[in-house]
Amino acid sequence: MNVGENKVVSITYLLRENDANGELIQEVNEERPFVYLFGQGGLLPAFKSNLEGLEDGDIFDFKLSKEDAYGAPSDENIIDLPKKIFEVDGKVDESLLKVGETVPMEDQEGMPLVGIIAELGDEVVKMDFNHPLAGMDLHFCGKVLEVREPSPEELEHGHAHGPEGH
């Protein structure tokens, strides 16, 4: 069976910066493979096109330019936020606010996003909402472990489920 629309795909991979000899960013192994419902969003289009048509056992090795990955970092994604929004029970816990820390947040529509604290001021926190891999060329090498038909529940939910279900 081939990787394609509405197939559940399990893969392993090494993700490196720039090329096969670049710094290791992420390793996904057979103990905890990346399992997803192909064609239901969430994948970079260039990543998706490099896997489409592969079969169980196929090896892949490809590079994505920063333009095909997460693009260049943008100054528009660096925002000063009032420090008071980090208050809990009327108080800011300064020990939790550290430059370089990742903070889960929501946008104005309630969609989740992640920001990195870039700078701390007395009244503002400068947050960087660029994707952590923005500005990087990425190299993926890995293996397709399995391609299977989704269950009706997986199709209905729009994502793959694990061996024990949802």
Same domain? 15 vs 59: yes
Closest CA to 40 of 10, 9, 69, 5: 5
Please list the residues that pair with 38 across neighbouring strands. none
**Count of structural domains, the chain:** 2
pTM given for the model: 0.81
Same domain? 38 vs 59: yes
Same domain? 13 vs 86: no
The tens place of each residue's pLDDT in the chain, 166 residues long, gives 999 999 999 999 999 999 999 999 999 999 999 999 998 878 899 999 999 999 999 999 999 999 999 999 999 999 999 998 888 888 887 777 899 999 888 888 888 888 999 999 999 999 999 999 999 999 999 999 999 999 899 988 888 886 655 5
